[in-house]
Amino acid sequence: MRYLAMKYVLLFCVLLLAAQCLAPGQGLVNFAHLRHLTERIAWNGDSVGIVHVYANYPGYEWVDAKESGPEGIACVDDAARAAVVYLRHYELTKSPQSLTEAKALLQFILNMQAPDGNFYNFVFADHTINKEGKTSFKSFGWWGARGVWAMAMGYRVMRDVDADFAVSLNSGVVKTFPHIDSLLLAYGKTRTIGSFVIPQWLLYESAADATSELTLGLIEYVRATNNERAAAYVRKFCNGFVVMQDGDEHTFPFGLHRSWETMWHMWGNGQTQALASAGGLFHDTLMIASARREAAGWYGRLLTHGFLKELDAADSTKASRFEQIAYGVRPLAVGLLRLYDATRDTLFLKMAGEAASWFMGNNIALQAMYDSATGRCYDGIRDSAAINRNSGAESTIECLHTLIELQAYPLAMRYFYSK
């Protein structure tokens, strides 16, 4: 990591000047656009919050999701993301409005969970559930993982402010345990693609990316309860992430954690965030070492040479740079913050700040992707000269998640203004 440390020494004077010109953290987090996307509805006897999926430039009116057939106007995926963001904001600021917003979103998530613990994802414009769509059918996958994350964090936070509601959230988490047990019947089983080992006990039989979101939720539950069953789940999933890691700081593919089979993609690849969080919680040096290995080898290269969209670890020629999105930046930046928490190595704060500076224009397009005046985060960088100025739920929420976390670390905020 020596070359990284030298890089940050050379940047320091430039960053001090930038920090003097832009007051870090003052008015940076703006929920206005997320609140524009949010609608409060009466549903199944509850008042719930839904987050509209898309809002397109220039007027930013609500737009339905239709990419995979009829999907709907709002989904568990985005409600869960937003609930996590509001809960974290409440933890850091004690904002009563953030707590209120989180509770309404959690009410929606609970209503989207079936009695068997699985989840539907989308609702249509008439507020009926999309039960047949391929991005919404009742299952325990991406939207189930995010549902667990939101409910578990909600339980941890709500215990002290709304004990009755916390009981419902706890029940929602526990109802998913049989599905996790079914996944882990394959614990220890692997298959291979060439020289690459594929653990079979992750979601979708190798989706480390989706499983990282589930693991982050289970970590929240362990923090709240010290539940041994949930702790065992976390350890087993983290072991799977380690199996999906290849190379080191000097050897391709440089310590990255593969997302699915032999592929790595930047979006949603939260294994370092999960490993560092779990490693800190359990004082597990092997988990922390795996997170550090990705940060030192792979994250360092992304920060030095520019972000990628995806890469095939089995064939380094199969790589693409675009489209770059906020959902790729959050796992990288927040993962580095959690790695600092676990190691107290300030280099990871500097790296986290620089990773997040993508939002401020320190990116290949040299354009700001977040507008603090409106709270909009644009949906992506299409190529080196063009950005997608739509501003949907995912981009907005993932950006706010990153900024809320970053603001708790003054040193990281200095590097947030990198150029």
Instruction: Supply 338's token pair.
Output: 């959690």
Say yes or no to pLDDT of 241 above 70.
yes
For residue 164, pLDDT over 70 is answered with yes
Tell me the per-residue pLDDT of 60-75, one tens digit each, with 9 for 90 and over: 999 999 887 789 999 9
pTM of the full structure: 0.93
d(CA 315, CA 349): 32
User: Is there a contact between 416 and 357 (Cβ–Cβ < 8 Å)?
Assistant: yes
The sign of the torsion formed by the CA atoms of 74, 76, 80, 81 equals: negative
Beta bridge partners of residue 324, listed in sequence order: 381
Is residue 26 pLDDT above 80, yes or no? no
Assign 1 a pLDDT band (cuts: 50, 70, 90): low
Could you tell me how many residues make up the chain?
419
Pairwise CA distance, residues 364 & 359, whole Å: 11
Q: Look up residue 70 and give its two tokens.
A: 């009829």
Who has greater pLDDT, 18 or 385? 385
Average pLDDT, the chain: 93
* Mean pLDDT score, 239-263: 97
For residue 376, the SS3 value is: strand
Question: Which of the four pLDDT bands, split at 50, 70 and 90, describes residue 45?
Answer: confident
Which range (17-31, 69-83, 143-157) has the least confidence? 17-31
The string over 378-412, giving b where at least 16 C-beta atoms fall within 10 Å of a residue's C-beta and e elsewhere, is bbbbeeeeebbebbbbbbbbbbbbbbbbbbebeeb
